[in-house]
Every structure is written in structure tokens, then in C-alpha cells.
Chain A
Amino acid sequence: MTLAVLLDTAADLVSERPVLGRRPGLPVSGLRQRAIAAAAWLRQRDAAGLAFLGLNGPAVPIGVFGTAYAAIPFAPLNYRLADDRLAAVLDRLDGATVVADDDQCDRLRAIGANPVPTAQWLDILASAEPGVPQGQPADEDIAVLLFTSGTTAEPKAVPLRHRHLTSYVLNTVDLGGAGEDEATLVSVPPYHVAAIGSAITNVLSGRRLVHLPRFDPADWLDTVRREGITSAMVVPTMLARLVSHLDGEPAASPLRALAYGGARMPPTVLERALRVFPDVAFTNAYGLTETSSTIAVLTPEDHRAALAAPDPTVRARLSSVGRAVPGIELRVRDADQDGYGELLVRGEQVSGEYVGTGSVLDAQGWFGTRDEARIDDEGYLFVRGRADDTVIRGGENIAPAEVEDVLTAHPLVSDAGVVGLPDQEWGEKLAAAVVCPNGTVEPAELREWVRARLRSARTPDVIVAVAELPYNATGKLLRRELRQRLIEGGS
């Protein structure tokens, strides 16, 4: 199955349904015409791929479906990459046509690329004569080429083939199944797998896709109200900013559903969010670039059941990422005494492949995620963090997330990051950076706070107050950078 066939079918089903942009919005048939025009334009240039360097917007769904009809990959690139890294990535996309926002064009020309400005490209497509697809991709063709975030290693290029992405779509959404009044707001950057997932699944469901590329809490709430947004996806840093902006006041809005994911959600942020959005159905989505987006969801019903449960096992599920989506199998390898081990995943949407390396699936088709996780008796998945982030202090494995959650539960701590620093005696010592915007807390008091709630071996050896923590655009804490800062700070 291919994205082109699915768009053709959706266009037959809900032809005039608006699916792209602010009101009134471009209908499915119009989006399909843009995609067909994009394919013809790409074919004329003999493009081997389409690289996109810019903010999330209409160019992303048009790029995804346009390259599908041209049977070449769509490669959204990270506009935060430094020039040398960007040049290295473009070298790997030899023969690709580049479309880029105005503010990216000069730097691209300086490194030898010949970009077409996004606005100009969209104008060309909008004024093209209506046409029919001149080609169709094969199931095996690469639909999207994504680069992993590279917070723990060099970025790797992950090919997501038509068969992976369509398997995700067919297993998790109903073509044309969205209600006529539904609209979704997307603020994640286009090089994140969630942006690709949203571009594909919302369009194919017949749900209007609205972009707010530069997230700001006031703008976001304003857009939700003006555009009649019924669902949205946010990363934890965005939800934290929304909650803080609302300052405990419930938000009146047309929003019915809010999905969060992309990084681990601090429990205190979630609890506050549930209070300021009392009538909104929350979904936690967990997935990786290599798995074509979501592989597990904690549904609104799961959230409600956990909140109401006297049973601590059920209540704990508020911090789980839920259960596997249809078509996905999960398993934990080499579990420790607490049940945590490496999470393995298997299913038709799993790519588990890197450009240059090939498939890293094992003989039975399992992909090792490098995430530390456990699965409870009813299949709920708890993700503790990246295996690479585990701190080993005197032989004890410590998951930073566990310590961070205890620190942020302190009333004066709004954010915390925990890393291991080199140590003569213990191999690694535990260091915490905390953000305290509303007053100072003595490190000794915080250490006592942690010691009272966790074992003493999990109490940070060093606690430093900082103004803010380093995050990437999708809300992942940049632990290497934090570690470097703490080492340079002489702690």
C-alpha cells in the first residue's frame, strides 16, 4: 500500500472536506491537485528527492504526498543545524531538489545549494493546471527520510517506506473518519516524526490541519479559539508553558482532545494540565522515528481510570505511555529486579533501518529501541528513559528520570535535569541542575527531599541552581550539553 493510493481514496471519500490551513481551508481534492502538481514539477527537474528546510506549514503535507506521486523521498531537515552539519546532510541527499523558507535561502546558497523559496514553490503549485498522477510509488519506495534527533549520538537517516507509513495509517485511523467540524493544531517542527504523522493521518482522516510553527502559549490559545481547533499535539515543554501561562485558570476553548508525546512528561506538569483543561480528553502517545511514529497510547479512558483509581497499580498508569497500538507487539529484554529492561518492538510500521547501515531488526523482526521500559500485567508500558542516559554510580544503575520526578515534585522546583559526572571514587557521581524561579532552595534541603523519597544512592551528590535547562525544539533534554555545562561549571 502507498500514501498515493490512500490520498486518492480519501479524495474520493471526502473530496470537498477542508484539510489544510486556516479557515476556510484547502479541501482534500485541492491538496491532491497540489501534490500532483508537485510531482510533475519534481519530475521535470529530475529530482532524486525533495529536501525541505523551513518551518512547519502547508509545504509539509504537500511535500509528503507530492513526493509520493513522484516516487521519491521527502526529507525535512532541521533548520537548527549549523552550516557544516547541514552541508553534510545535503551531501547525503545527492540529487535532491531543495525547497526552503526565505530566511534559510542565503545560508543554503553559501554552502552550494540552489534552493527554491517555499512561498514561490507553493504559488507555482497553486497556479498549475489540474492534472492526474503521472506515476505511482511502489510499497518498497522510501516515502520519507528522517534524521534522528541525535541527542545521544550522531544523527542517523531513517528511511520510512510506503509500506511502513501506510501500515501505521491503516491500523490507527479511519479514512475520512473525522467529524466535519474537526481541526487540529500542530506546532512540532517538520523534521520530527510526529509532524510527518500529523501531516498524513489528519489529511487522510479528513481533519483540517492548522500549523502554528513558532509555539507561544498566548498565540496557541488564541489560534485554538479563532480556528475552532478540536485537537492538538504538544510536546512536554509546550504543555508546561501553557500550564504556566494559564496560571491555574481553566481554559475555555473548543479543544476536545490533547495528545502529548515526543519526550517524557513530568508528572507535575500533567497533573496541572488536567486541572486547567478539565473537559479535554488527554492522550499520551509514544513512538520513535524508527517506528513510523506512535506505537503505544495511553487513552483518555486510561487517564480517567488512573485518576479515579484507589488501586496504586492502576493509579501509577498515569505515568505510563499506555498500551501497544494495533499491529504492534512489545517486549522487554533482560529485565532487572524492577522489571525494567530494553524495550523491543515488532510490527509492520517498524522501519528499524538506517541509511548506510541497513536493517538492524533481529532474525525474528524485533527492533531494539534503546529505551528502558517495563510492561505491567495488563500491557501498560512504562518508559524510564534512554539506556544511554543511565547513570552508573558505584555499580548501581540510576535512571535520571526517577530522580528528576522527585525533584520537580518539590514546590519550589519547576524543572530538573539529572546526569552523571566523572568521579574518581564512584565512577560516576549524580549531578542535578534545578530551576527555581520562585525562590531559592538550599541544596542540602533538596538532597534531604530526595533521600526521604528514594534510596540514598539515588540522592544527587551535587545540586546546582540554573536559570534554565537546555532542550531541543521537540522538548528533549540535551543531556550531553547539560553534562558539559556542569563539568565546566566546576561542580
Chain B
Amino acid sequence: MTDGTLRTGTRLRSQVCDTEIIVVRAEGVDRLHCGGRPMVALDADRAGGSPESGLDTGTQLGKRYGRTGDGRVEVLVTRAGAGTLSVGDDVLPVLAAKPLPSSD
């Protein structure tokens, strides 16, 4: 993914770690970063290397990361890695799991 807007269902991977994500929702966001480098399509070439210092807190499998408000974005980690997810410099926190008492 080099340009255009992120869409729900888009799958991306980190260039500098094992992280893979799928976009759950995105509103007016062009690009995601992981470990300080832009994320790329699953089949795209990767620069390699390792996450930048400070952007190496890692991603957890099965967790959602994102932010609300303008430029709302939410992704699901489908493969864990060493990098930190961000939109530019804006680090995406884990979206607090709000597990309900099992109601089904």
C-alpha cells in the first residue's frame, strides 16, 4: 500500500517486524506505521531491519488497536510482532477490551 485511503478489510504487514493486521475501520486515514516504518501489503517487498527505538513495544495477537475522533482507525492484529503501531507519530493504543459477562 503506497497511497490511497485505508479500507475495512485491508491487510497489511510491518516492514520491520512480524506484525500483520487487518483494518476493522478507517475514516480518512492514508497510512499506518509499525515500528516507525509504513506498513505494506502482505505480498509487497519489505525494507527489513528492526523497529525504531521507542517504537518497539510490540503488538499482541487478537487485540484491537486504534484511536477515535477525526481520523478514526481500528485494526485487529492477526500476527504479533515487535513493533509499535502508529499513524505517523500518533501511537495507537490497545483498545480496551470491554469483555462483557458471557451473555450468549
Residues of A within 8 A of B22 (CB): 1, 5
Q: Shortest distance in angstroms between B6's beta carbon and chain A's nearest beta carbon? A: 13
In angstroms, Cα B22 to Cα A294, docked, is 25
Contact B76 A9 (CB under 8 A): yes
- Interface stretch, picked from B29-37, B40-48, B93-101, is B93-101
Of the candidates B61, B62, B63, B78, the one having the most CB atoms from chain A within 10 angstroms of its own CB is B62
Contact B101 A283 (CB under 8 A): yes
Q: Shortest distance in angstroms between B36's beta carbon and chain A's nearest beta carbon? A: 25
Contact A12 B78 (CB under 8 A): yes
Residues of A within 8 A of B76 (CB): 1, 5, 9, 170, 175
In angstroms, Cα B9 to Cα A259, docked, is 33
**Residue A261 at the chain B interface, CB threshold 8 Å:** yes
- Candidates A1, A13, A173, A207; contact of B100 at CB < 8 Å: A173
In angstroms, Cα B10 to Cα A138, docked, is 11
**Residue A205 at the chain B interface, CB threshold 8 Å:** yes
**Residue B8 at the chain A interface, CB threshold 8 Å:** yes
Contact A281 B97 (CB under 8 A): no
- Candidates A163, A171, A207, A259; contact of B103 at CB < 8 Å: A259
Contact B78 A233 (CB under 8 A): no
In angstroms, Cα B104 to Cα A184, docked, is 9
Interface residues of A in 1-44 (CB under 8 A from B): 1-2, 5, 8-10, 12-13
Residues of A within 8 A of B101 (CB): 257, 259, 281, 283, 297, 299-300
- Interface stretch, picked from A87-95, A194-202, A414-422, A428-436, is A194-202
In angstroms, Cα B62 to Cα A283, docked, is 26
Q: Shortest distance in angstroms between B32's beta carbon and chain A's nearest beta carbon? A: 16
Contact B98 A171 (CB under 8 A): yes
- Candidates A2, A177, A198; contact of B97 at CB < 8 Å: A177
Contact A1 B9 (CB under 8 A): yes
In angstroms, Cα B24 to Cα A1, docked, is 6
Known: A9-B76, A12-B78. A205 touches B102 (CB 8 A): yes
- Candidates B78, B79, B97, B100; contact of A5 at CB < 8 Å: B78
User: Closest chain B residue to A5 by CB distance?
Assistant: B22
Contact B103 A285 (CB under 8 A): yes
In angstroms, Cα B79 to Cα A173, docked, is 19
Contact B61 A325 (CB under 8 A): no
Of the candidates A2, A13, A202, the one having the most CB atoms from chain B within 10 angstroms of its own CB is A13
> Is chain A's interface secondary structure helix, strand, loop, or mixed overall?
mixed
**Residue B13 at the chain A interface, CB threshold 8 Å:** no
Interface residues of A in 350-375 (CB under 8 A from B): none
Total A-B Cβ pairs within 8 A: 91
Q: Shortest distance in angstroms between B27's beta carbon and chain A's nearest beta carbon? A: 13
Q: Mark B84-99, 1 if CB is under 8 A from A, else 0.
A: 0000000000000111
Q: Mark A171-205, 1 if CB is under 8 A from B, else 0.
A: 11111110000001000000000100110111001
**B interface residues, how many (CB within 8 angstroms):** 19
In angstroms, Cα B9 to Cα A139, docked, is 8
User: Closest chain A residue to B98 by CB distance?
Assistant: A326
Q: Mark A267-305, 1 if CB is under 8 A from B, else 0.
A: 000000000000001010100000001100101100000
User: Closest chain B residue to A207 by CB distance?
Assistant: B102
Contact A9 B61 (CB under 8 A): yes
User: Closest chain A residue to B96 by CB distance?
Assistant: A326
In angstroms, Cα B26 to Cα A139, docked, is 14
Q: Shortest distance in angstroms between B59's beta carbon and chain A's nearest beta carbon? A: 13
Contact A283 B78 (CB under 8 A): no
Residues of A within 8 A of B63 (CB): 175
Contact B102 A202 (CB under 8 A): yes
In angstroms, Cα B101 to Cα A281, docked, is 9
Contact A170 B64 (CB under 8 A): yes
**Residue A231 at the chain B interface, CB threshold 8 Å:** yes
- Candidates A9, A171, A177, A194; contact of B104 at CB < 8 Å: A194
User: Closest chain A residue to B100 by CB distance?
Assistant: A172
Q: Shortest distance in angstroms between A304's beta carbon and chain B's nearest beta carbon? A: 12
Residues of B within 8 A of A297 (CB): 100-101, 103
Q: Shortest distance in angstroms between A138's beta carbon and chain B's nearest beta carbon? A: 8
- Candidates A10, A170, A176, A300; contact of B24 at CB < 8 Å: A170
User: Closest chain B residue to A177 by CB distance?
Assistant: B99
- Candidates B24, B61, B97, B103; contact of A283 at CB < 8 Å: B103
User: Closest chain B residue to A178 by CB distance?
Assistant: B102
Known: A170-B24, A176-B62. A325 touches B100 (CB 8 A): yes
In angstroms, Cα B64 to Cα A2, docked, is 15
Residues of A within 8 A of B78 (CB): 5, 8-9, 12
Contact B62 A13 (CB under 8 A): yes
7 contacts across the A-B interface (CB closer than 8 A)? A1-B8, A1-B22, A5-B22, A13-B61, A197-B104, A299-B100, A326-B98
Interface residues of B (CB under 8 A from A): 8-9, 22, 24, 61-64, 76, 78-79, 97-104
Interface residues of A (CB under 8 A from B): 1-2, 5, 8-10, 12-13, 138-139, 163, 170-177, 184, 194, 197-198, 200-202, 205, 207, 231, 233, 257, 259, 261, 281, 283, 285, 293-294, 297, 299-300, 325-326
- Known contacts A138-B9, A197-B104; 14 further A-B pairs (Cβ under 8 A): A5-B22, A8-B78, A171-B98, A172-B99, A172-B100, A177-B99, A205-B102, A207-B102, A283-B101, A283-B103, A285-B104, A297-B101, A300-B101, A325-B100
